[in-house]
Amino acid sequence: MRLFVDTEFTDFIDCDLISIGIVSEDGREFYAECSDVDLSRCSDFVRAAVLPQLGCEPAIVGTEQDISTALQQWLVQFDQVEVCFDYPTDFEWFFYLVRDAETLELPHSIKWRNIRADLDAADIEHYWRENRRQAHHALHDAKANKFAFLTANKTNDAT
């Protein structure tokens, strides 16, 4: 099962997790917002584009540890997953939240794939228009990436 993941974080240089959104290939969703993030550390871009969108979707709201626990419990429903992301920091946060606390390793049932090259910006824009959403909300970005990836693969499968 493919899982499309996206995160929002405070800044590119010294980043803290703000939110994580995941949508499975069959539509199951996970969305969480961090309650203990220091919002004063956010870049101006994050203040303008990300923070106003927080609280607009039902979410697990908790500390990074709360989110880690909830995400690990949510993942139990899947036997094997391929985590698809378009930006390395998204996967780094996913990895951080689900890694084994003792070995610091990713569970063997989880594979990963950077899908950036598989995404067409026009398909992502189409998703935003059709769903009346905008970028920089972790769950909506994950859904847009899923749409663009599946659209590209449907097109590739037909050729």
Residue 155 has a pLDDT of: 59
Residue 90 sits at the vertex; the CA angle it makes with 84 and 94, to the nearest 5 degrees, is 80
Q: Which CATH code is given to the segment(s) 2-158? A: 3.30.420.10
pLDDT, position 75: 97
What DSSP character marks residue 69? H
Report the 10 Å Cβ neighbour count for 89.
14
Measured distance between the N- and C-terminal CA atoms of the chain, rounded to whole angstroms? 23
The pLDDT of residue 29: 98
pLDDT in tens, 24-62: 999 999 999 999 999 999 999 999 999 999 999 999 999
Alpha helices in 7-63 (DSSP H): 44-49
The tokens of 54 are what? Answer: 């927080």
Low-confidence ranges of the chain (pLDDT < 70): 155-159
Report the distance separating Cα 113 and Cα 144, nearest Å: 16
